[in-house]
Structure 1
Amino acid sequence: MNTGATRNVALIFGYVPNQTAAITAAAFYFCFGTALTLHIVRLKNWWAVALPIGALGSGLGFITRYILAEPAYQTSKTTMIIEEVLTLCFPAGFLAFNYIVYGRLVLYCLGARHSLIRPQWVSTFFIMSDVSTFVIQGIGAAFVVQPEHHDLGGKIVEVGVILQTISFGIFSAMLLLTYVSVKRERLTNGTETWWRAYQAVVFSSTFIVIRSIYRMISSIDGSSSVIATTEIYLYLLDVLPLMIAIGVYIPFWPGSYTTGEDSILHISIPEQHKLSSFDAGSRELLASNEA
């Protein structure tokens, strides 16, 4: 198993992973993934499978991290690659889930006028971005654990993390603009069922942003920085925020709130509020009437 000290995990990561922390994180991810899967099966919400896949994949990543701390595996290139890909990339499933929930909210509850992008395109656009950055980070992770390609791998991961952060930043801005648009119409009193799904997505996205900022800073600073080589930061600024981000969906499952109940989708829009909406069709109609 020994392939040379140059690939020792302590030299690549800056520390030997703490096994207690790794197995605890794995246990939480598996528990959350199981609970979220039960929601999907109970309500037949197959559109939501990205969330438990991300959780279970992350759990496997921390199992691999536990194994990586064993002396016999601390120089295993394959184990390091698997650990890096699983823990770095599989949380992309959490982002994908938030994109899907937002798209369903607009499509079934709010109406296209409240989104900058057509609701049918929202999930596709952002998930394609997510997959692209997933692949970039995966390639980078495979290079990072190779001493001869370590710096190149770090740069590739950095590019993937930055692009993912920008993409999620755009999505977060869309969430805010949707809120502004809905409030401007004054067609809701804030007690509608779908508000719970919106609030859950915003809450979840806030913690994903925290994790994204941590990953971006640690990748830009490099593998020799304090934030990258101190394991506690990984758990406080990556694992914990992500667990909170997906944990909110256990008591507040979006599939229960995006059924179209209390929808404002087909409510007539007051003339004075049409220009404040994001529905391109409405804007074009107003323009033609004014002409």
Structure 2
Amino acid sequence: MRQSTLLKVFILSSFLSSVYAFGEGRDCPADPYADPANDICNPLRYVPNKVLNCLGAALFFIVAAALTFWSFRRKANYFLCLVIGAWFEGAGFVLRVLMRDNLHSLNLYIVANLFIILAPCAFLAGDYIVFGRLVQFLEAHHYIRPFKARQVSRIFIASDIITFLIQGSGGGLSASSSTGSAELGAHLFLAGIAIQMVSFIFFSCVWILFGIRVFSGDKQLWHREGWKPLYFALGFTCICFIIRSIYRTAELAGGYISYLSTHEGYFLGLDSLPLLLGIATYVFFWPGNYLHFDGNPFKKSKARRTEEGAQMYPLNAGDSYETQTGLDTKITPTYNNYYVRR
């Protein structure tokens, strides 16, 4: 909890420093609608389209409501990050609509961008978690070697957080009045996005490798019913999120006032639409409908490995456990005249 709070404070402070540096010491035009593309006080450099942003907010809220329904109907607490992220993305679009009447408002810009940038990180985390749970559910760890199911979630979520921190620090420096600091910030922000993209592409390769290994090496598991729809749905979301990552990387490579950055159509078509399609996929392929666990599957897996790794000794008829072993350690009788040393 403490680390999460520090992270939020850090990112918020980065955005605050960014936008206040952005507007400090600059004369804003009296009419913000006259020439938004050259308005130095308008961080977007355009006027958000009211109809499209309202539609975007409505669609994200509909998907968020459907995901929330599934979270109550078929519990999957590990997937709450994606559900919450969907509500945040919809709220971000609402704030973009409000910005139409407040193009120079620093507060709206801060919160809107915070929501828009935070949400996709939650979507990626959702994919990481679902894949780890799927591998655990199938007990197919050996098909993702050298990784383990739990490691997949932890490693890629950690990379998600690290790259987000890089983006946050870059956002704060990029609007500095110092040319050197501004260039450093822009490069940091671009590096954060690019590393996040590479990390997710690598994760997608692990997803592909798992499918290939199961298909070629375990026909019985491959033809087992009930898991492949979720597996392929996860693959579709990977494609959607990679498209978004490539767009964001290309956008930032051109700078904050590049052609891609200052034309809303690219943001809506290559950022928002792929994200919407990706998370909407889980409305139809909710993980809770495919993965059924009693409690924490990772803890059960550890307990099972302990049981499997326990030493087994033969029991001769007529002898006590202590007589055979000379041990006073706790022992438990099992099946077929064997006992387990704990």
Q: Normalising by structure 1, what TM-score?
A: 0.81
Structure 1 23/128 Cα, relative in aligned 2: closer, same or farther at 3 Å? same
Cα deviation for residue 156 of structure 1 reads: 2.9
User: Is the aligned partner of 1:235 residue 2:264?
Assistant: no
Cα deviation for residue 52 of structure 1 reads: 1.1
Query: In structure 2, what is the Cα distance between the partners aligned to 1:5 and 1:65?
Result: 23
Structure 1 62/143 Cα, relative in aligned 2: closer, same or farther at 3 Å? farther
User: Could you tell me which residue of structure 1 aligns to residue 238 of structure 2?
Assistant: 205
User: Is the aligned partner of 1:106 residue 2:132?
Assistant: no
Query: In structure 1, what is the Cα distance between the partners aligned to 2:177 and 2:222?
Result: 58
Read off the aligned partner of 2:54 and give its amino acid letter.
I
User: Is the aligned partner of 1:119 residue 2:152?
Assistant: no
Cα deviation for residue 63 of structure 1 reads: 1.4
User: Is the aligned partner of 1:85 residue 2:114?
Assistant: yes
Structure 2: which 5+ runs fail to align? 1-22, 294-342
- The 3-state SS of whatever aligns with 1:249 is helix
Assess if the C-alpha contact under 8 Å between 2:237 and 2:277 holds in 1.
yes
Read off the aligned partner of 2:202 and give its amino acid letter.
I
Structure 1 27/122 Cα, relative in aligned 2: closer, same or farther at 3 Å? same
Assess if the C-alpha contact under 8 Å between 1:211 and 1:241 holds in 2.
yes
Residue pairs, 1:173-252, within 5 angstroms: 173-185=205-217, 186-190=219-223, 192-252=225-285
**Out of 126, 131, 147, which is 1:97 matched to?**
126
Residue pairs, 1:9-48, within 5 angstroms: 10-11=39-40, 12-48=43-79
Cα deviation for residue 155 of structure 1 reads: 2.6
Cα deviation for residue 218 of structure 1 reads: 0.4
Query: In structure 2, what is the Cα distance between the partners aligned to 1:6 and 1:151?
Result: 23
Between 1:210-219 and 1:40-49, the stretch displaced more is 40-49
Read off the aligned partner of 1:243 and give its amino acid letter.
L
Query: In structure 2, what is the Cα distance between the partners aligned to 1:243 and 1:25?
Result: 9
Structure 1 17/144 Cα, relative in aligned 2: closer, same or farther at 3 Å? farther
Larger radius of gyration: 2
1:154-204 Cα offsets, whole Å, 9 max, x none, are 333212111110110110110110011101112235462011110110011
Query: In structure 2, what is the Cα distance between the partners aligned to 1:147 and 1:60?
Result: 31
1:72-124 Cα offsets, whole Å, 9 max, x none, are x2222222122222112321111000101100111111411111311121111
* Percentage identity across paired residues of the two chains: 32
Assess if the C-alpha contact under 8 Å between 1:144 and 1:150 holds in 2.
yes
Higher helix share: 1
User: Could you tell me which residue of structure 1 aligns to residue 161 of structure 2?
Assistant: 131
Larger relative contact order (CA 8 Å, sep ≥ 6):
1
Name the count of aligned residue pairs: 257
Query: In structure 2, what is the Cα distance between the partners aligned to 1:75 and 1:47?
Result: 39
Structure 1: which 5+ runs fail to align? 261-291
Query: In structure 2, what is the Cα distance between the partners aligned to 1:58 and 1:135?
Result: 19
Q: Normalising by structure 2, what TM-score?
A: 0.69
Residue pairs, 1:141-152, within 5 angstroms: 141-142=171-172, 151-152=183-184
Structure 1 142/19 Cα, relative in aligned 2: closer, same or farther at 3 Å? farther
Query: In structure 1, what is the Cα distance between the partners aligned to 2:165 and 2:235?
Result: 26
Structure 1 140/82 Cα, relative in aligned 2: closer, same or farther at 3 Å? farther
